[in-house]
C-alpha cells in the first residue's frame, strides 16, 4: 500500500498527515515518534515526512525546471569583460610600439592583455562548469538568509549578493548563492523543494506543511 492510503483499510490519508487512520484507527507508518531523536530532530522529521507525502510535491517535481538564463548572463559578462579588456590593452600595446615608446611602457599593456585573456578564460571555464552541472531537486527547509553588499564609492556602484541557508532532512546545512527574486519569496522556516545547479539556488518552491 502506498503512503497516501492506510495499510489496513486502504482509506485515503488526509493532509496534514495524522498519526492514525481516521477510518479504522490504525497507526500510520512514518507518523509515530522515532526513539532516540531530540525534540528539534523529531519536529524536523515530522515536517519532512509531511512534505514527502504532500500532493503538491509530485506536481513540483514533474513541472518545468527553473530558468538559469540569469546565471549564464552573469557568468558570460566575465567572458566579455575579459575579452574587451584584452582588446583595449592590445590596442594600446600596438600604438605604443608604433610610437617608439620605451620598452618598459610597452610591457605594461602587454601584461594587461594577458590578464584580460586570463579573466576571459576563467569565466569561460565557469560557464562550462555551470552548464554541465546537474540540476538537483531536494526537499529542504530555509534556515536563514543574508545579503552581502560590496563595492560602492564615488566612481562605482555597489553590488549585492543574496544567500540562503538550507537544511536537508538529515540535518545537514549549506549556504547557496541565489537571486534577489528567490531570496524575496523564500522566508525563514519555509519548507519546500529547492532547485540547485552548480552550487546556485535557482528556485525554491514552498509547500504548506
Q: Where are the domains of the chain?
A: 71-132, 134-206
pLDDT confidence of residue 32: 47
d(CA 18, CA 20): 5
Q: How far is CA 195 from CA 136, 149, 169, 200, in A?
A: 6, 24, 15, 8
- DSSP 8-class letter at 5: B
99: cell is 610610437
As a whole number of Å, the CA-based R_g of the chain is 26
Q: Please answer whether residues 166 and 201 qualify as being in contact, where contact means their C-beta atoms are separated by less than 8 angstroms.
A: yes
Under-50 pLDDT residues of the chain = 1, 31-32
Helices (H), 37-194: 39-52, 55-62, 69-98, 103-132, 180-185
- Express each pLDDT in 8-34 by its tens digit: 887 777 666 677 887 888 887 654 455
Whole-angstrom CA distances from 24 to 27, 46, 185 are: 9, 22, 40
How many Å apart are CA 94 and CA 109, to the nearest integer?
9
Query: For the segment 181-208, what is each residue's pLDDT rounded down to a tens digit?
Result: 999 888 999 999 999 999 999 999 999 8
CA distance linking residue 80 with residue 114, whole number of Å? 15
DSSP 12-80: BPPSSPPSB-TTT-PBPTTTSPPTT--HHHHHHHHHHHHHHT-HHHHHHHHSPPPP-HHHHHHHHHHHH
Domain 134-206 fold? OB fold (Dihydrolipoamide Acetyltransferase, E2P) (2.40.50)
Question: What is the pTM for the complete model shown?
Answer: 0.71
Amino acid at each position: 500500500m502506498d503512503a497516501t492510503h492506510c495499510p489496513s483499510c486502504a482509506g485515503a490519508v488526509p493532509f496534514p498527515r495524522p498519526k492514525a487512520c481516521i477510518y479504522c484507527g490504525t497507526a500510520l507508518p512514518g507518523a509515530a515518534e522515532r526513539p532516540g531523536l531530540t525534540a528539534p530532530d523529531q519536529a524536523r522529521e515530522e515536517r519532512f515526512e509531511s512534505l514527502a507525502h504532500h500532493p503538491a510535491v509530485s506536481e513540483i517535481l514533474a513541472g518545468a525546471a527553473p530558468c538559469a538564463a540569469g546565471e549564464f548572463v552573469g557568468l558570460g559578462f566575465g567572458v566579455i569583460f575579459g575579452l574587451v579588456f584584452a582588446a583595449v590593452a592590445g590596442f594600446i600595446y600596438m600604438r605604443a610600439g608604433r610610437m617608439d615608446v620605451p620598452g618598459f611602457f610597452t610591457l605594461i599593456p602587454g601584461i594587461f592583455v594577458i590578464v584580460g585573456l586570463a579573466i576571459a578564460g576563467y569565466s569561460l571555464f565557469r560557464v562550462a562548469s555551470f552548464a554541465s552541472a546537474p540540476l538537483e531537486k531536494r526537499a529542504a527547509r530555509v534556515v536563514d538568509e543574508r545579503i552581502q553588499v560590496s563595492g560602492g564609492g564615488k566612481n562605482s556602484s555597489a553590488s549585492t549578493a543574496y544567500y540562503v541557508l538550507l537544511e536537508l532532512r538529515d540535518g545537514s546545512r549549506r549556504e547557496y548563492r541565489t537571486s534577489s527574486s528567490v531570496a524575496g519569496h523564500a522566508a525563514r522556516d519555509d519548507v519546500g523543494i529547492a532547485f540547485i545547479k552548480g552550487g546556485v539556488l535557482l528556485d525554491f518552491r514552498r509547500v504548506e506543511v
